[in-house]
Amino acid sequence: MSKEFLDFTPSSLIGAIEANTRESFLTWTKWSKLELHQDAGEIWIASEIPYFIFNLVLQAETPSAGPETVIEAAIAKARSRQVPMGWWVGPSNPFPGMSQLLEAKSFFHAATLTGMAVDLRTLNETASVPPGFTISEVTNAGDLGTWCRIMSDVSEFPGFVKTAWLEMYQEIRIIDNPQWRLYLGTHNGTAVSTSALFLGAGVAGIHGVTTLPEFRGRGIGQAMTKSPLLDARNQGCQVGVLYSSEMAVNIYRKLGFQVYGQGDIYVWQMPERESTH
């Protein structure tokens, strides 16, 4: 991966934010339970796991078919598997009115995420951390299990999703992938937070930033974001990117991140009368 990124125009940054996230999902497809489908500008992942994050349209740019045709085809694929389907509508989505079309096809709005970027050359040299708090890179199976447990608990994933996530990360050997680095934050020896760095699309992407509720408000989220960014800068990266939840935008602004658009996740679920699960 080239680590040089010199075009700081908003359109290029939006593209890099989306591309980094998309590439991070594509690394999941090394997992035997996940399928990757790419054709005519469409990119989507599919599985038998009944959770939308494992059945997700990442990109839909098919010029030969209208958006309604693309949506109906996706629903048919999800219905055949009897699983829910997620649909990402990013800031560079090529179809105007896609959100309204998805809602008309029984998708519901699940979340809004804010795309942000920062010039890594502007970061201070050190990441300040609260007293008694340390950050370490995940390098073994035990810490990987702890990382997945905290991330899944904070994200309030159902039990079967927690199990699937750990199984996936184990099988794709994420801690051995040079594009990924997982970080675990501990307070007085107790693991309390997570984050991840993904090097893709020429930029440094921050993912999986979580902190146990009882440890929030202490600057841990900022520390768990800044430390990976400093590591990325040391490797030659010039731009850090992420998608933020609505409540975390101001936390990232304090690190120098700026907003470059929003994206939305929509989810389609099997009607109860059709579901056999």
CATH label of the domain that carries residue 136: 3.40.630.30
Question: What is the rounded average pLDDT of the residues 55-63?
Answer: 83
Query: Residue 138 to residues 146, 173, 272: CA-CA distances in angstroms?
Result: 9, 12, 41
Question: What is the rounded average pLDDT of the residues 47-69?
Answer: 87
pLDDT band for position 47 (cuts 50, 70, 90): very high
Q: Are residues 62 and 161 in the same domain?
A: no
For residue range 222-235, list pLDDT tens digits in order.
999 999 999 999 99
Q: Are residues 77 and 134 in the same domain?
A: no
The answer to which of 27-36, 61-70, 156-165 has the lowest mean pLDDT is 61-70
Q: Are residues 166 and 234 in the same domain?
A: yes
pLDDT band for position 2 (cuts 50, 70, 90): very low
Q: 98: Cβ–Cβ under 8 A, 6 or more apart, which residues? A: 67, 89
Asked if residue 253 has pLDDT above 80, the reply is yes
Residue 274 lies in a domain: no
Q: Are residues 108 and 124 in the same domain?
A: no
Question: What is the rounded average pLDDT of the residues 35-63?
Answer: 89
The answer to which of 14-28, 34-48, 106-120 has the lowest mean pLDDT is 34-48
Question: What is the rounded average pLDDT of the residues 117-121?
Answer: 96
Q: Are residues 79 and 125 in the same domain?
A: no
Q: Are residues 243 and 143 in the same domain?
A: yes
pLDDT band for position 127 (cuts 50, 70, 90): low
The dihedral through the CA atoms of 169, 173, 179, 185 has a sign that is positive
Asked if residue 146 has pLDDT above 50, the reply is yes
Measure the CA–CA gap between 34 and 9, rounded to whole angstroms: 35
Residue 276 lies in a domain: no
Asked if residue 34 has pLDDT above 90, the reply is yes
Residue 214, judged by CB atoms within 10 A of its CB (0-12, 13-18, 19+), counts as exposed
With contact defined as beta carbons under 8 Å apart, do 62 and 72 qualify?
no
The answer to which of 129-133, 212-216, 233-237 has the lowest mean pLDDT is 129-133
Counted domains in the chain: 2
Q: Are residues 133 and 252 in the same domain?
A: yes
Question: What is the rounded average pLDDT of the residues 135-140?
Answer: 98
Tokens for 95, please give them: 């179809």
Q: What is the pLDDT of residue 239?
A: 97
Pairwise pLDDT comparison (273 vs 47), residue with the higher score: 47
Measure the CA–CA gap between 183 and 114, rounded to whole angstroms: 22
Measure the CA–CA gap between 211 and 220, rounded to whole angstroms: 7
Picking from 223, 242, 68, the residue whose alpha carbon sits closest to that of residue 130 is 223
Asked if residue 156 has pLDDT above 90, the reply is yes
Q: Are residues 164 and 186 in the same domain?
A: yes
> Which range is most confident: 1-5, 22-26, 64-68?
22-26
Q: 184: domain range?
A: 118-260
Asked if residue 183 has pLDDT above 60, the reply is yes
Measure the CA–CA gap between 199 and 236, rounded to whole angstroms: 11
Rg (CA), the chain: 19
Residue 3 lies in a domain: no
**From start to end of 78-141, where are the E strands?**
85-89, 108-119, 133-137
pLDDT band for position 273 (cuts 50, 70, 90): low
